[in-house]
Amino acid sequence: MSEAITQETNALSEQNPERKGIKKGLYLIPTAFTAANVLMGFLSIMATLRGYQFLSDQTFESLLRASYEFDKAALFIGWATLFDALDGRVARMTKTTTEIGVQFDSIADVLTFGIAPSVLAFAWGYGSVFAQGTQLYNLGLFVSFMYLMCGSFRLARFNVQASRPRPLSEGTAKVDKKHFVGLPIPPAAGLIAGIIHYSPNPLSSLMPENKAFYISCIFMIIMGVLGLLMVSTIKYTSFKSLGTGKINIRLILIIAAIAMLVWLYSTYVLLAIALLYVLHGLVLKSFSVMAGLVVRKREQHITE
């Protein structure tokens, strides 16, 4: 009798490992995308350091090589944005979301969309224009650091909000999956990368020198604005539910068209996509404020 039970147990164990192995394999897929995100961030930082090294010699050849390295660093951030969008979507589609995966994704985002773009912006932009030790040089260090701090705080706030759903008046909990609170850090890094991919020549190579000075100051302002948007309460569309339902032919055609445009005109399309996403939250907020003012005026007229 015991031998029969043992044989049945062995037969079941021979079938279950395959199913468990498939299930465990599914958990590796989103983790692999997150690991690719980390790799892109690491390669971006290495390319940035290599490009900054070439700036020590202000020859035409060294400036070309620096531009090439800065362009690579920007493209690595662009690829990381794609991997970051896929890891969460794949995890939700395969129902393999784990707590450690969420934390791993946040750490990866700090590296790839926090450290990498702040270092790239400094090396390509104001760090190469202003002399070391000057007030503007130190201000550039401060701006890059504050961008990193705002991005890190944005990720920490997102994790807290995701783990503590918003309570409704009835006492139930609801998670707002349609919007992000504050500008997400990947689009902020994508805008920085898009600007540098559009014009990879370091700002120190611009002539005359006052042109490089003014553009460096403008770029520092852009970095500061991106940092403020990340810690703001402005809502941004999440697109989390996009493509998770039934197959939509129009959506497939739109994605295919955008992918083709990126392939043919990446210099312009990537910058346009990042800029439109960053601005759309501000536009929606402006319309919301204006609509609120109109409602208040109507209420005042009614009360009068």
Q: What is the pLDDT along the chain (304 residues), one digit of tens a residue?
A: 444 444 444 544 444 444 455 555 666 778 888 999 999 999 999 999 999 999 988 788 999 999 999 999 999 999 999 888 887 777 767 776 677 877 888 899 999 999 999 999 999 999 989 988 899 999 999 999 999 999 999 999 888 877 665 554 444 445 566 788 899 999 999 999 999 999 999 998 887 878 899 999 999 999 999 999 999 999 998 876 665 555 567 766 777 788 788 888 889 999 999 999 999 999 988 888 888 787 777 777 677 6
DSSP 168: P
Cβ count within 10 A of residue 13: 9
Q: What is the pTM of this model?
A: 0.83
CATH number of 13-164+174-247: 1.20.120
Select from 202, 43, 46 the least CA-distant residue to 124. Answer: 202
User: Vertex 259, ends 39 and 178: CA angle to 5°?
Assistant: 80
Q: Classify burial at 83, counting beta carbons within 10 Å of its beta carbon; exposed 0-12, middle 13-18, buried 19 or more.
A: buried
Assigned token pair, 138: 């130190």
The helix (run of H) or strand (run of E) holding residue 210 is: helix 209-230
Q: Let me know: does 106 contact 186? Beta carbons within 8 Å.
A: no
Q: With left for phi above 0 and alpha for psi between -120 and 50, is residue 137 left, alpha or beta?
A: alpha
